[in-house]
Structure 1
Amino acid sequence: MIETTAYLREQLAAIYDPEETRAISRWIIEHVTGYTPAQQILAKDTPIDPQQREAVRMIVRRLKLHEPIQYIVGECTFHGLTFSVNPSVLIPRPETGELVEHIVQRHGAAPSLRVLDIGTGSGCIAITLSRQLLRPQVMALDLSAEAIRTAQANAERNGAEVRFVCADLFDPHLTLPGPFDLIVSNPPYVCDSEKSDMAAHVLDYEPHAALFVPDDDPLLFYRAIARRAHEWLTPGGWLYFEINAALSTETAALLVAEGYSDVRISRDMEGKNRFAEGRVGAGGG
């Protein structure tokens, strides 16, 4: 196993920084052999068999083509839970975990909250809130049938009760069995003009429909959700978004214009304006 570790660190050094190289090397060996990082230390002198060696080399070839390690191994960790991921869904990001943590800190003691997650993808937000809030009723919406299937499998994997709905947010006839106390969404928000700044592992492999919006209307999802949320939120209910940091001022202005109170922009761990929130009035509008 020492030889395999050395091979991985040599091959991955040109792709990742040293810390990432060490972490991904351990992840690959665990995926291929079943040895946890702690077991890898104890079994460092144990050679891997030829079939496993070829599996490692195949993973390295895919990584050199910038394919995300999460898609290669088929899973990732989010907020302490393990989620299956594939190219039909975005790979959950740490900043999305920060949004979930903010919601849990604010609402974690309130029982039986009704929660709607719009654009659920892998289901990471809905499932984590289902597990961490106090007996919530959680519904999750996505346009992609493949994403819904992935999210349903993740709910079963993590023992979460979530009702999934495959539907189009922009369908004017869409009705949902609300009202909801909270609506949360991490919708597409990267402008088409920003594609040139994206890393290859994102641009070449992750679903563009879940990432990009047109330059001439970058807030179209936020506007649609904010307007429909007046129908779906209970009076005093909260709306939470992950946002494009470059459009934080515009997003806040949109929420104010759509009649939300307590509008607030907050920063992620990197200091970027990454989250927006607002509340419907006591009269529901």
Structure 2
Amino acid sequence: MYIRALLICFLLISCAQKKAYKRPNYIKFKTEKDSVFVIINNNVISTSFLKIENLNKNKTQFIDFTKPDTLTVLKFHKSEIDTIALDKHYRFQLQYGNSIPKAYDTLYNYGLPFLKGKRYKVLQGNNGSFSHRKPTSRYAIDFKMKIGQEVCAIRDGVVIQTKSDSDEGGNSEKYMDKANKIFVFHKDGTYVQYAHFKKDGVLVQKGDSIKKGQPIGYSGNTGYSSQPHLHFVLYKSSKDGLISIPFILDSIPSKNYKKGKYAVNK
């Protein structure tokens, strides 16, 4: 009985692992005559790279992009492989940034993300215990804002992604994907994400060029959020994806923005 239970458990785990990977919709397989092609339709308008893992040979390769592109990334003869084997033995992941991380401007002085004359309390700073412990959020800052306060760009950039259709939020990670947000690319290769906007509270759209200090949306309480606030975080690229970085905000290092203190945009 015990052995049977173990076998069932093993089968369930195996099934879960097999279902864990699903080929992303930007990757298509095409067969033509005696060939099998792997094609990427990359719509990212900033720098990006495709990570290709060959599980059989334990090899990884990277293809970098500087703009949107449709490209054949792999080609095989039908005698080598079919599309079923491709799904079994290859993994594809499109990431923002460059596969070989480049130097960025560590001395750039970012502006406060709200209007002149306004002051807001820091709700959570770098390494905050509530939600700033992961590589993607370690150096984030949260400002306590009532719903509907104007959020401003902290640097010139190009908007590469937005979401504004959510009205859901709460103190649980199940709401993580429900946050309304704006994602922006900077000329030195860094990125910034602003999050938790109210529903329909995003004022910009993908492809827009924005200026430092420009109003870009209205604060809210969507997503994984314990109360209305603005969350923003700076990123650099790595081979494993974007990771958060420390920065200078209104001439002050981000680590000095402590919980309970106020920031004033004079």
* Length-normalised TM-score, structure 2: 0.31
Which of structures 1 and 2 has the bigger CA Rg? 2
Bigger fraction of residues in helix: 1
* Length-normalised TM-score, structure 1: 0.29
Bigger fraction of residues in strand: 2
Q: Kindly indicate whether structure 1 or structure 2 has the higher relative contact order, using CA contacts under 8 Å at least 6 residues apart.
A: 2
